[in-house]
Amino acid sequence: MADLGTVAGLTTPALLVEDTLLEANLATMSAALPGDRLRPHVKAHKCTALAARQHAAGHHGFTCATVREVEGMVAAGLGDDLLLANEVLDMRRLGALVAEGARVTAAVDSSQTIAAAVDGGVREVVIDVNVGLPRCGCPPEKAGDLAASARERGLAVRGVMGYEGHLMMVTPEAERTRLTEEAMKLLLAAHAEVGGDLVSAGGTGTHAVNTWASEIQAGSYALMDTAYGSLGLPFAQALSVLGTVISVSEGWAVADVGLKSLGMDHGNPTIEGASVWYCSDEHITFAPSTPGSVHVGDRVRVLPAHVDPTVALHEAMYLASGDRVLERWPVDLRGW
């Protein structure tokens, strides 16, 4: 295998994944939700090499957010059971994958998305139910009728999904549990009308408290971010954006990790031992806690507040152990 050199030799900004922390995160989740209890969401990492590790950990079904993610997973040989947990109005590319033998199930929440599945050649669907997040999903009381009309049109209805995304960051945990139970009661009521084996829901924030869904769609747990880090979940920050300090002034320093290499919708990133002031296109300005401790040319690890949009800005992530780069993993599920 090619020698990928050292972390110190990487061109920055670079997505860096600490191998031992990633492995620990995968093992912790697989112990909590073994096998088919977890349907890992690939939107958080967009990387088939990482998905292959999740597959090796025993999770054979995956959740996707885009048609491109589904295509990339099939191309990587990970198409055993893919759930597109999102509404799509042109399913012809998905139908082509089904025709080639991949198992693709699409979320539907309207007569239009049911028609798209039929017209596109997708044969299996789940009814997407709104459990409180104002996004996709039909009202729970409409799920039974939608399932009946999907079946009338020849589709197999595998069950329901309902993403309680508005509850992921609720604290304390007891309150998250209580609200998740309320949301899942809506989903289970819909499931009673719809039938099928799948009750698909959940994410990293509710993975431990959502005991009502048959499978959990968590994604961020593998790489993590500081927003989820604040919840005290049993997962470590395996991902950082490696930067180089390019300028030092009296009281602050600047590294080459800016808005174009960081998802900022959950707020400022974090640098250990420093306080981050702000980010601009190509720069992060921060004040080291110990004045004079940071020098031009130093490397800094910037921990993003939101993993998904951060990863999507990069072509590749580098798997590292200490200073050694073990592998370069393309972020190959980007695009649409």
Please identify which residue in 21, 22, 33, 41 interacts with ligand PLP, judged by CB under 6 A.
41
Nearest C-alpha neighbor of 39 from the set 56, 21, 17, 55: 55
Closer to ligand PLP by CB, 255 or 331: give it. Answer: 331
Candidate segments 119-127, 137-145, 211-219, 275-283, binder of ligand PLP by CB under 6 A: 211-219
- Interface with ligand PLP, residue 269, by CB under 6 A: no
Please state whether beta strands 316-321 and 324-330 pair in parallel, antiparallel, or not at all (unpaired): antiparallel
Measured distance CA(309)–CA(266) in Å, rounded: 10
The region of 169-177, 214-222, 279-287, 315-323 touching ligand PLP under the rule CB under 6 A is 214-222
d(CA 229, CA 184): 25
Amino acid at site 78: L
**Binding of ligand PLP by 240 (CB under 6 A):** no
113 contacts ligand PLP (rule: CB under 6 A): no
Angle separating helix axes 111-120 and 92-99, nearest 10 degrees: 40
Provide CB contacts within 8 A for 104, sequence distance 6+. Answer: 70, 74, 79, 82, 84, 94, 97, 98, 122, 124
Cα–Cα–Cα angle for 223, 225, 228, nearest 5°?
110
Among candidate residues 201, 228, 231, the one with its CA nearest the CA of residue 308:
228
Q: Which stretch binds ligand PLP (CB under 6 A): 98-106, 216-224, 230-238, 287-295?
A: 216-224
**Shortest distance, CB of residue 313 to ligand PLP, whole angstroms?**
17
Decide: is 233 part of the binding site for ligand PLP (CB under 6 A). Answer: no
* 268 binding ligand PLP? (CB under 6 A): no
Place of tokens 């602050």: 252
Residue 210 binds ligand PLP, judged by CB under 6 A: no
Q: Verify binding: residue 218, ligand PLP, rule CB under 6 A.
A: yes
d(CA 37, CA 55): 13
Residue 223 or 254: the one with the smaller Cβ distance to ligand PLP is 223
Region binding ligand PLP by CB under 6 A among candidate stretches 1-9, 69-77, 212-220, 247-255: 212-220
Q: Is 85 exposed, middle or buried (0-12, 13-18, 19+ CB in 10 A)?
A: buried
Output 216 or 254, the one with its CB closest to ligand PLP. Answer: 216
159 lies in the site for ligand PLP, by CB under 6 A: no
Establish if 39 lies at the interface with ligand PLP (CB under 6 A): no
What residues from 52 to 111 belong to the interface with ligand PLP (CB under 6 A)?
Answer: 63, 85
Residues near ligand PLP (CB under 6 A): 41, 44, 63, 85, 163, 165, 168, 203-205, 217-220
